[in-house]
Structure 1
Amino acid sequence: MKKYKFTKEFLLGGAVAAHQFEGGWDQDGKGLSIADLRRYNPNLNRKDINTERAMTKAKLAEALNPPKDLVFPKRHGIDFYNNWKQDINMFGEMKMKIFRTSISWPRIFPNGDETKPNEAGLEFYDKVFKECKEQGIEPLVTLSHYETPYHLVEKYGGWKSKELINFFTNFAEVVFKRYKNLVKYWMPFNEINAAIYSVWAGAGLKDDEENIETKSYQAMHNLFVANALANKIGKSINQDFKIGCMIAGMMTYPFDCKPENVLLNLHQEQRRKYFYFDVAVGGYYPNYIKKYWERKNIKLDITTEELEIIKNNTSDFSGFSYYMSGVYSVDEQELVEGNLIKFGKNPYLDSNQWGWQIDPVGLRVMMNQIYDRYQKPVFIAENGLGFVEEMKNSSEIIQDDYRIEYLKKHLQQLLLAINEDGVECLGYTLWTPIDVISHGTSEMTKRYGLIYVDQDDFGNGTRKRYKKKSFAWFKNVIETLGETLWDED
């Protein structure tokens, strides 16, 4: 295998989300986000993760009036809000070229529908982005990473309401103008397709609402319009902005060559992967989704003007997360966990501790699929391995060779996609450079970071930061432009 390297321009770094690491949920005027209402369940059965992720009317009522023993870990995160300088300095020591993070919408507009922003929130991100620049790190900013202000859910019903489009574009315009000289790379929404598969996080909808599928597709359309308008507004403020979409990567295969399985997988790929890229990057609603809505009697409020906005303001690049792959079969099959949904088990793949199937080659396949279809650069916005890790003493270095192996194999396939297949790729941000609160389960036990944070699932601990073995490994990968990825173990 030829030993390919990254170019000096390739953006190699790490990604986080404000609601998973920032904390400071009640500091300096920040409002309540939908993520702040996610509880931690110490008795979670991992077979019921999708049920745990769901937000029902009963769960919401409990979160708004919680018993004393209920814990909401995303409210304190890992306290980046009060440790931002130390953490960014560690990212600089790691030689990260890019740092993907999100701006907490309710830190800027506490309720989401105000006309004037919270200056204290804007000043916080001033400091963060300036420190990134001083460390030689390019910020990549997600405007909304599952952080819709809760007030917009309570008053307007979440993203099923078109009123949220204007509130979001007002927020986008404020931060585009404020950071136009500090931030070049933007993503309006994280994993925009979560509006269909994780409706509370993606759209601020309760899972037990009536006609939830129709409401989630209406929310999806409203998000597409907001995404396109953000592209338009951003380019009017700074034409050099690079604004891309971000979609949860759904890499799947037919279970075998049975024609019915091939057809099933095609239909699943259309509805669970290509649809979102077709709209955000291609600028159009494809016929297959219109036929699906027809069959399901899903009727949406979509105007000709909105379709023109989507058509004329497409994304500059195709960003997506990639963790695993799965298979589809018309016959009964064993299911395994995915990022937002469950797939059939692939007998050729190993799985991690959480049942996510490890498939580095699938990353190369998906990069080819998306680049070939749209002919715009791709960006790997999330990719990483969660694991249970515990430090027994402060002098210990966690030997996370399993994470190194996972990242190494995926980065190798990324380089092969670029150099042997001709895929244009802007960059790669691993999930994540530092341990954070799990999005799906609100636990700390599921650790992805290259930096260990001394904190447990209940928020107990010193919150001191310690480098894992993967820290030095990734630093070396960046410094050698990936040359060491091909070294024999």
Structure 2
Amino acid sequence: MKTYAFPENFLWGAAASGPQTEGTEGKPHRSIWDSWHASHPERFFQGIGPEKVCETLHKYKEDVALMKNIGFNSFRTSIQWSRLIDDFETGTPNTDAVKFYNDYFDEMINNGIEPMINLYHFDMPEELQQRYGGFESHHVTDLFARFAATAFKLFGHKIKYWVTFNEPIVPVEGGYLYDFHYPCKKDGKLAAQVGFNIMLAHAKAVNCYRQLNLSGEIGVVLNLTPTYTRSDSEEDKKAAWYADLLFNRSFLDPLVKHQFPKELCELLAAHNCLPEISKADVTLITDSRVDFLGVNYYVPRRVQARETEYTLDHFTPEFYFENYIDPNGRFNPYRDNNEIHPQAIYDIAVNIRDNYGNIKWYLAEIGIAMDLESEGPVQPDGVIDDHFRISLMEEHLVQLHRAISGGANCFGLHQWTFIDNWSWINSFKRRYGFYRLDLDTGERHIKRNGLWFRQLAQSNQFSCKEHSL
């Protein structure tokens, strides 16, 4: 057995979001998820939408007590734009929402749990999507900045860590390339425009935060997926280079390195996908500075050079590669056969250390998906046996520890997620929580992974069999 100790004051906790936990009760506006589910419930697993979900709106005190029970010293969630703001044009807040968020954040703080608050987790207000096209519109970047400024003024004295966007590439992919998020468009040029405008909205929010001279920090959370090749051939390596450019560097370079990759601009121009921009907006993005980076990781990306003709009538990154399944890989037998590759954590950390100024960062999401059947029933001791997760999390933590020992500037880890929560079109198909949510009763049942995490968080270390690296 070997013991792996983490740096002093390391953050341990979980991540979630407002639209996936709060429910829709009391909101002055609908989000695109509320309206999309109302019009097309068949797109959602078992037809389950975001109306009720975890009932955090009413159960936040109970939930904070459960967080404390398993050793959390931090927790990331999000403020819903469609809940906090009454008037989008002015940024005027909703009184009931202000009270709820103040009470929720205070409950965490009073129990020794640091709230880390995100402003956008895929949840564009329906009104702004219908009226302006959401982030297709330059005007909406200004409205987002007003929303951010309202949140900072209301809660900035108590929130030390702010996040502008969670996984900003996902609305681009889901809404404008691959049709798994609303508005379900397939348009490469529009996708590039939305991506640019999201970065512009991020920069404007960061500027608002700086102008208020608050004492906390502000960052962004990106899903960074290392790209591995089928072989060492030059063709496969070039395919991986394109995948990394389009999926990782497209946001990472402008927001952390403060430059747009020249190769990305040339590629988009070649496909007639360059967004409409101004020099002033580009400068605003590249001049903005984040205090920290959050990194979400679940599965690796494996690619090979294209061997079949690209047939889509709109541009997607797959123009330059084909996805590849490693025949010798390890796969999760309990959820969609996703590949398991802990080494990726180390590779991400080294990339940030060596190529992005060793910026301060934390592992903002990591999780092992299982379904309800594979987790099994509540055991006689009241615990759900999901021990499959524990050994895999240990393997990932070994790689994170290895990276920190090598100089990676990592200050925390949040698992996805605290309680099984609603997850977009997958609804409750995939389960990740430390606690199971009973959809019929709303009860929370602890899982063995939660008990393991409590020992990890409280001791700031864990012991396991030494893994070969």
Normalised by the size of structure 2, how large is the TM-score?
0.89
Match of 1:479 among 454, 458, 468: 458
- 1:34 and 1:329, CA in 2 relative to 1: closer, same or farther beyond 3 A? same
Residue 468, structure 1, aligned to residue 467, structure 2: no
- Supply the distance in 1 between the matched residues of 2:408 and 2:254 (Cα, whole angstroms): 21
Shift, 1:388, TM fit: 1.5
Letter in 1 for 2:340: I
Q: Is the 8 A contact 1:404 1:473 kept in 2?
A: yes
Write out aligned runs for 1:82-481 (5 A). 82-110=58-86, 112-199=88-175, 206-208=183-185, 212-330=187-305, 343-352=323-332, 353-375=335-357, 376-389=359-372, 392=377, 395=380, 396-419=382-405, 421-442=406-427, 444-455=428-439, 461-481=440-460
2:398 counterpart letter in structure 1: Q
Change (3 A) 1:475 1:208: same
Report the Cα distance in structure 1 between the residues aligned to 2:182 and 2:271, rounded to whole angstroms: 20
Question: What is the match of residue 9 of structure 1?
Answer: 9
**What residue number does 2:29 align with?**
31
Aligned residue pairs total 448
Cα offsets for 1:343-384 (capped at 9, x unmatched):
421233212221221111111101111232111112211100
Amino acid at match of 2:455: N
Structure 1, residues 213-261: CA drift from partner, whole Å, max 9, x if none? 1111111111111111111211222443211111122221111111110
Q: 2:50 aligns with which of 74, 89, 108?
A: 74
Shift of the 284–428 alpha-carbon distance from structure 1 to 2, 3 Å rule, reads: same
Across the aligned residues of Structure 1 and Structure 2, the Cα RMSD in angstroms comes to 2.6
Q: Deviations over 1:61-99 (max 9, x none)?
A: 546xx99x9944212111111111100111011111110
**Alignment gaps of 5+ in structure 2:** 309-316
8 Å CA contact 1:14, 1:99 repeated in 2: yes
| Cα distance in 2 for residues equivalent to 1:343 and 1:85 | 44
**CA distance change for structure 1 residues 205 and 86 in 2, over 3 Å: closer, same or farther?**
closer
Hey, what's the Cα distance between the residues in 2 that align with 1:293 and 1:203? 22
Tell me if the contact between 1:325 and 1:362 (Cα under 8 Å) persists in the aligned partners: yes
Distance 2:392 2:424 in 1: 21
SS of 2:5's equivalent?
Answer: coil
* Aligned-pair CA distance for 1:270: 1.1
Counterpart of 1:313 in structure 2: which amino acid? S
Asked if 2 retains the 8 angstrom alpha-carbon contact of 1:18 and 1:103, the reply is yes
Distance between the aligned counterparts of 1:186 and 1:93, measured in 2? 25
Residue identity matched to 1:426: F
Q: Secondary structure at the match of 1:245?
A: strand
CA contact under 8 A between 1:264 and 1:328: conserved in structure 2?
yes
- Whole-angstrom distance in 2 between the partners of 1:299 and 1:116: 35
- Give the letter aligned to residue 31 of structure 2: S
- Measured against aligned partners, the alpha-carbon deviations of 1:29-74 in whole angstroms (never above 9, x if no partner) come to 43111122454xxxxxxxxxxxxxxxxxxxx8546xx99x994421
2:94 & 2:107 partners in 1: Cα distance?
21
SS of equivalent residue, structure 2 residue 250: helix
The answer on whether the counterparts of 1:397 and 1:467 sit within 8 Å (CA) in structure 2 is yes
Q: Residues of 1 paired with 2:155 and 2:255: CA distance? A: 24
Q: Are the aligned partners of 1:188 and 1:245 in contact in 2 as well (CA < 8 Å)?
A: yes
Identity score, percent: 25
Contact 2:179–2:185, Cα closer than 8 Å, also in 1: no
Q: Is the 8 Å Cα contact of residues 21 and 79 (structure 1) preserved in structure 2?
A: yes
Q: Output the CA distance in 2 between the equivalents of 1:350 and 1:33.
A: 38
Partner of 1:46: none
CA distance in 2, matches of 1:223, 1:295: 22
- Tell me what 1:21 maps to: 21
Which sections of structure 1, spanning at least 5 residues, go unmatched?
Answer: 40-59, 334-339, 456-460
The residue type paired with residue 208 of structure 1 is: K
Aligned partners of 1:102, 1:484: CA distance in 2, in Å?
Answer: 33
- Greater mean alpha carbon deviation, residues 400-409 or residues 346-355: 346-355
In 1, the alpha carbon distance for the partners of 2:264 and 2:397 equals 33
Contact 2:2 2:463 in 1 (8 A): no
User: SS of 2:183's equivalent?
Assistant: coil
Shift of 1:306: 0.9
Question: In 2 relative to 1, CA 487–83 (structure 1 residues): closer, same or farther, beyond 3 Å?
Answer: farther
Shift of the 291–357 alpha-carbon distance from structure 1 to 2, 3 Å rule, reads: same
Taking the aligned partners of 1:70 and 1:447, their CA distance within structure 2 comes to 15
CA positional deviation for 1:386: 1.2
Between the aligned partners of 2:465 and 2:278, the Cα distance in structure 1 is 52
Instruction: Output the amino acid matched with 2:430.
Output: K
Shift of 1:196: 2.6
Distance 1:109 1:435, change over 3 A: same
State the 1:314 CA deviation: 2.1
Q: SS in structure 1 opposite 2:50?
A: helix
TM-score, normalization: structure 1? 0.86
C-alpha separation between the residues in 2 aligned to 1:109 and 1:260? Answer: 50
Give the Cα–Cα distance (whole angstroms) in 1 for the partners of residues 260 and 219 of structure 2: 18
2:313 corresponding residue in structure 1: none
